[in-house]
């Protein structure tokens, strides 16, 4: 469904992505794990057209992906950005409606709004509340709900568990599985490697702008070098949490 | 007491025109975080367009308003395309925008001096100078018209911003251009709409200003007082711009009435410096480090 070949991104002199190749199949959860500064957000922003890659080919549903953000949303890709970026000055309802900005099908919008409220009942209670007054966890839920409102085929999630309490992290990952059941394809970027690998159909490891490893989620969880580099501590702490 | 009330009414009337001008500064600032000093030039062009429509073409005054507004709306758009859009595409520093804005403003002023001339022009008398008596107070017909047209225009703007889909997108883009783009908003188009709206209201304000005083190429500089009002209220905030403008109008007329009209602008600009020192974000401004 999404095929990225040799993606190269520079920030001035900084070579942030050094030839990334990725393949996402319809209906999968694909995770990219990597440390701080590995280039995860850069990758998603290049897909969303926020950053223009210097080189590389991106094709989506068999066609070459446009390079302008709103055309990419129209093509069926939405992003839930790192740090949520909910519109603090808008109500919860208006935030969700901004997610549906390009849509004209009133019925479809109403239906998807219903689905979002099913996933996040708390959003239904807060429709008229300014998003800036929500808690961090609620803002993350709103950001995900907003990302779903464009009815995307592919949803890009940038560290959805960032800064959330363990219990909430668990909820968020449950919700990601629910989103998959809505017939969406998910590209998830995470530092929380254990969680991200355990729900992934396929996963990639990004290090300093390069993909250094790929495999199914369970393969990578068992991989000794991954365990050492990414799961060492997390594995234990999550076992005790689960 | 009557004299005081009279001053307040005059202040409200000129303040409402400042508000029409100030929202143009505020709208652009809210999204682009820079002060569009070319706005004064746009307002000045509005005053000239209105003047020629009324004198050379003898159009009815409401039509003159409408056409002047459309003309300046388009002008503001053209300025955005020529002076700012290329800078935006290159992510240029804010200083470049300010310099570009000043360039545009000087260009407009000089093109008027070169083609129309530097002299003052007086609008034809459209309303009887006979004021309307309300109790002890007398309200000038032009003052009343200024208030009514400004209020209607501002109400229309607030309706668009608060109640329509494109208005929601403008508010979203003001909060975060990137997040808004990720929602599928064509942010380039939103910026053009914002310039167009600011130019439209600025042109209407220019006609009112020209009617009240006179028309001359440096109007653009004088209307910079509405920028003070926008800073006073808090740049980027529409209610702030309106409240700041009304207060500035009242402060001005009180200064003219009780001190001397020669101190009017002095006090206005002193107020700007004072605000920037004690409360840089203004009465209701959005917090930001960069107040270029
Ligand atoms: N706007 C920018 N200008 C210059 N360098 C940048 C910019 N954004 C990111 N970088 C650099 O590019 C590299 C990749 O950054 P990126 O934000 O993609 O990392 P990340 O994997 O998302 O990290 P994190 O987990 O901390 O979010 C880093 O070295 C970063 O410093
Ligand atoms: Mg990141």
Q: What is the pLDDT of residues A213-224, one digit of tens each?
A: 999 999 999 999
Q: Decide which of 3.40.50.11810, 3.30.450.20, 2.40.128.20, 3.40.50.300 is the CATH code for A2-76+152-241.
A: 3.40.50.300
> What pLDDT sits at residue A151?
97
Residue A167, both tokens: 């219990």
pLDDT in the model for residue B289: 40
The pLDDT of B179-195, averaged and rounded, is 97
pLDDT tens readout for residues A15-31: 999 999 999 999 999 99
Give Cα separations from A109 to A101, A113, A116, A150 (angstroms).
Answer: 10, 6, 10, 8
> A residues 113-172 near B, CB within 8 Å?
146, 150
Short-list B206, B169, B163, CA closest to B191: B169
Q: Is A39 in the pocket of ligand 1 (CB under 6 A)?
A: yes
Angle at B198 between CA B114 and CA B236, to 5 degrees: 125
Give this prediction's pTM: 0.92
Helix/strand/coil for B201: helix
Position B30 confidence tier, pLDDT thresholds 50, 70, 90: very high
pLDDT digits (tens, 9 = 90+) for A32-87: 999 999 999 999 999 999 999 999 999 999 999 999 999 999 999 999 999 999 99
Domain boundaries, chain A: 2-76+152-241, 86-151
pLDDT-based confidence at residue A93 (cuts at 50, 70, 90): very high
Write the pLDDT tens digit of every residue in A180-231. Answer: 999 999 999 999 999 999 999 999 999 999 999 999 999 999 999 888 888 8
| Residue partners of A9: CB distance under 8 A and separation at least 6 | A15, A16, A17, A39, A42, A43, A46, A51, A53, A54, A209
Q: What tens digit of pLDDT does each residue of B133-151 get?
A: 888 888 899 999 999 999 9
Q: CA of B55, closest CA in chain A: separation in Å? A: 45
pLDDT at A242 over 80: no
Q: Please report the DSSP string for A89-156 in residue order.
A: TSBHHHHHHHHTTT---HHHHHHHHHHHHHH-HHHHHTTTSBGGGS-HHHHHHHHHHHHHTT--SEEE
Instruction: Give residue A22 CA to ligand 2 midpoint distance, Å.
Output: 18
In contact, B44 and B217? CB cutoff 8 Å: yes
Are the C-beta atoms of residues B223 and B72 closer than 8 Å to each other? Answer: no
pLDDT in tens, B235-256: 888 999 999 999 999 999 999 8
- Name the H helices within chain B: 2-32, 39-55, 61-79, 85-89, 94-115, 141-163, 165-175, 177-182, 187-212, 219-222, 224-233, 238-258, 264-278
Residue B268, SS3 per DSSP: helix
C-alpha A36/C-alpha A64 separation (Å) is 30
| Closest CA relative to residue A33, chosen from A223, A198, A197, A235 | A197
CB of residue A40 inside a 6 A radius of ligand 1: yes
Tell me, yes or no, if B287 comes closer than 8 A to chain A by beta carbon.
no
Is A195 near ligand 1, meaning CB less than 6 Å away? no
* pLDDT tens string B31-72: 998 889 999 999 999 999 999 999 999 999 999 999 999 999
Distance CA A65, CA A57 (A): 8
Question: Does the pLDDT at position B268 exceed 90?
Answer: no
Residues whose CB falls within 8 Å of the CB of residue A106, separated by 6 or more in sequence, listed in order: none
Distance CA B82, CA B86 (A): 7
Residue pLDDT, tens place only, B218-231: 998 888 889 888 98
Q: Ligand 1 atom closest to Cα of A42?
A: 18
B117 φ/ψ sector (left φ>0, alpha ψ -120 to 50, else beta): left
Residue A233 pLDDT level (bands cut at 50, 70, 90): low
Beta strands (DSSP E) in A12-64 are 14-24, 29-33, 55-60, 63-64
Which pLDDT belongs to residue B291? 34
Q: Average the pLDDT over A135-151 and give the result.
A: 96
Average confidence score pLDDT of chain B: 91
Which position has the token pair 């006609």? B207
Residue A70 has its nearest CB partner, among B175, B176, B186, at B186
Please state the ipTM of this predicted complex: 0.93
Compute the average pLDDT of residues B81-86.
96
For A110-132, write each residue's pLDDT tens digit.
Answer: 999 999 999 999 999 999 999 99
Residues of A whose CB is below 8 A from B187? 69-70
CB atoms within 10 A of CB A188: 27
Report the pLDDT value the prediction gives residue A240, as an integer from 0 to 100.
47
3-state secondary structure (DSSP) of residue B140: coil
B264 pLDDT band (50/70/90 cuts)? confident
pLDDT at B292: 37
């Amino acid at each position: 469904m999404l095929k990225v070949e040799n993606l190269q991104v520079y920030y001035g002199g900084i070579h942030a992505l050094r030839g990334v190749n990725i393949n996402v199949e319809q209906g999968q959860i694909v995770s990219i794990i990597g440390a701080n500064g590995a280039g995860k957000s850069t990758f998603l922003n290049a897909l969303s057209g926020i950053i223009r890659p210097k080189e590389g080919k991106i094709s989506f549903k068999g066609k070459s992906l446009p390079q302008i953000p709103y055309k990419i949303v129209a093509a069926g890709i939405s992003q839930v950005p790192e740090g949520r970026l909910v519109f603090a000055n808008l109500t919860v309802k208006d935030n969700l409606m901004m997610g549906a900005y390009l849509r004209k099908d009133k019925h479809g919008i109403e239906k998807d709004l219903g689905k979002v409220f099913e996933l996040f009942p708390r959003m239904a209670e807060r429709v008229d509340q300014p998003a800036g007054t929500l808690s961090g966890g609620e803002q993350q839920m709103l950001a995900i709900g907003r990302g779903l409102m464009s009815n995307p085929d592919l949803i890009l999630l940038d560290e959805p568990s960032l800064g959330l309490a363990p219990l909430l992290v668990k909820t968020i990952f449950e919700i990601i599985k629910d989103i998959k059941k809505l017939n969406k394809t998910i590209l998830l970027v995470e530092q929380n490697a254990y969680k991200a690998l355990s729900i992934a159909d396929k996963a990639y490891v990004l290090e300093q702008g390069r993909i250094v490893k790929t495999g199914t989620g369970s393969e990578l969880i068992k991989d000794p070098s991954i365990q050492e580099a990414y799961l060492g501590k997390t594995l234990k702490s999550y076992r005790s949490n689960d | 007491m009557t004299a005081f009330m009279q001053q307040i009414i005059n202040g409200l009337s000129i303040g409402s025109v400042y508000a029409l001008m100030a929202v143009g500064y505020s709208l652009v600032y809210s999204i682009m975080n820079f002060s569009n000093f070319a706005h004064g030039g746009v307002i000045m062009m509005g005053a000239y367009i209105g003047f020629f429509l009324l004198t050379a073409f003898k159009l009815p005054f409401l039509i003159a308003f409408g056409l002047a507004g459309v003309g300046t709306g388009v002008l503001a758009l053209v300025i955005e395309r020529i002076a700012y859009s290329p800078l935006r595409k290159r992510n240029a520093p804010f200083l470049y925008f300010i310099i570009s804005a000043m360039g545009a403003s000087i260009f407009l002023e000089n093109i008027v001096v070169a083609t129309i001339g530097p002299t003052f022009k007086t609008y034809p008398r459209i309303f009887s100078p006979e004021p309307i008596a309300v109790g002890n107070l007398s309200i000038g017909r032009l003052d009343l018209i200024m208030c009514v047209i400004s209020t209607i225009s501002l109400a229309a703007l607030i309706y668009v911003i608060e109640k329509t889909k494109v208005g929601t997108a403008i508010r979203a883009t003001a909060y975060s251009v990137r997040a808004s783009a990720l929602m599928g908003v064509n942010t380039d188009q939103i910026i053009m709409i914002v310039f167009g709206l600011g130019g439209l209201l600025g042109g209407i304000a220019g006609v009112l200003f020209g009617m009240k005083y006179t028309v001359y190429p440096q109007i653009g500089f004088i209307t910079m007082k509405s920028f003070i009002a926008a800073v006073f209220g808090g740049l980027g905030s529409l209610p702030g711009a309106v409240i700041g403008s009304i207060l500035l109008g009242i402060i001005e007329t009180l200064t003219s009435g009780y001190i001397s009209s020669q101190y009017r602008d002095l006090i206005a600009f002193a107020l700007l410096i004072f605000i920037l020192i004690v409360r840089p974000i203004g009465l209701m401004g959005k917090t930001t480090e960069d107040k270029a």
